[in-house]
Amino acid sequence: MVDHPLTLMAVHAHPDDEASGTGGVLARYAAEGIRTVLVTCTDGGCGDGAGGAKPGEPGHDPAAVVATRRAELEASCRFLKVSDLELLGYADSGMMGWPQNSAPGSFWTTPVAEGAERLAKLMRHYRPDVVVTYDENGFYGHPDHIQAHRITMAAVELTGLPAKVYWTTMPHSAMVEFGRIMAELGMDVPEPDPSAEEALPMGLPDEAITTWVDVTSFGESKYEALAAHASQGDNIFFLGMGVERFTQLMGTETFLRVHDTTGAPLPETDLFAGLR
């Protein structure tokens, strides 16, 4: 047994990723008395501005976007009952190929060793038993998500602390179901680009998923947390399906276990299996 509060640390790239990707496990484990630490790496300055203005468009004031998203993140954390929010404060690098990739202070141009050292310091402070981040593609290729993955894996290596490390993922069956529901709701489903899919495999075959966590009881918290990020167009899109459909679709969060010292058998249904 561990000599400190059982702790989950989720490392995310932008304000709102905590809600869409891990809102269910953050809410569920908080309800189970586990300390939940959220590390958000960037300020989200490349997000939508007032009225949906994109970076570079008139009406997009990056400083105002950062302030809005900071307040939204804090509101989201209240819905998810996150016990500790840590901000690394790097500048949002924008999508791959954007000039913001190489702007001063961007997360993407920050040396991995530097970001990892800062995160390692937080790991030594909180001593997380379980760490969650993205896979090496940041799931869909966003530079800040890739960088969050890199600094997390480097910090795990530096500290050797977490007993279990997970990457968020999606089973292919859920991705098919997602497309079906979107179409049913009359929402535009982007046609998959076969060449892109080959370059960047998203999600995993169901049988490759190691960890399935039921978070249906926390669908509303997850929905409310995402709703707190209402300035971002992508989230409004998700919220359009309503809390019931949202919970149905997002009620199981799935992970790939990539590091484990507990020996908990796979597949598992609990990130803390083997730890309590």
As beta bridge partners, residue 211 has 255, 268
Q: Residue 263 region, left (φ>0) first, then alpha (ψ -120 to 50), else beta?
A: left
Build a one-symbol-per-residue string for 23-62: x at contacts with Zn ion by CB under 5 A, - elsewhere. Answer: ----------------------------------------
Distance between CA atoms of residues 30 and 191, nearest Å: 38
Distance between CA atoms of residues 209 and 222, nearest Å: 22
Contact pick of 7, 8, 10, 17 for Zn ion (by CB under 5 A): 17
Helix (H, G, I), strand (E, B) or coil at 228: coil
Contact pick of 7, 10, 11, 14 for Zn ion (by CB under 5 A): 14
Helix (H, G, I), strand (E, B) or coil at 144: helix
Contact pick of 9, 10, 11, 13 for Zn ion (by CB under 5 A): 13
Q: How far is the CB of 96 from Zn ion (least distance, A)?
A: 12
Q: Rule CB under 5 A: is residue 229 a binding residue for Zn ion?
A: no
Contacts with Zn ion by CB under 5 A: the residue count is 3
Helix (H, G, I), strand (E, B) or coil at 10: strand
Closer CB to Zn ion, residue 14 or residue 60?
A: 14
Closer CB to Zn ion, residue 10 or residue 264?
A: 10
Q: Rule CB under 5 A: is residue 156 a binding residue for Zn ion?
A: no
Query: Which residues neighbour 127 within 8 Å (Cβ) at sequence distance 6 or greater?
Result: 4, 7, 161
Closest residue to Zn ion: CB criterion: 14
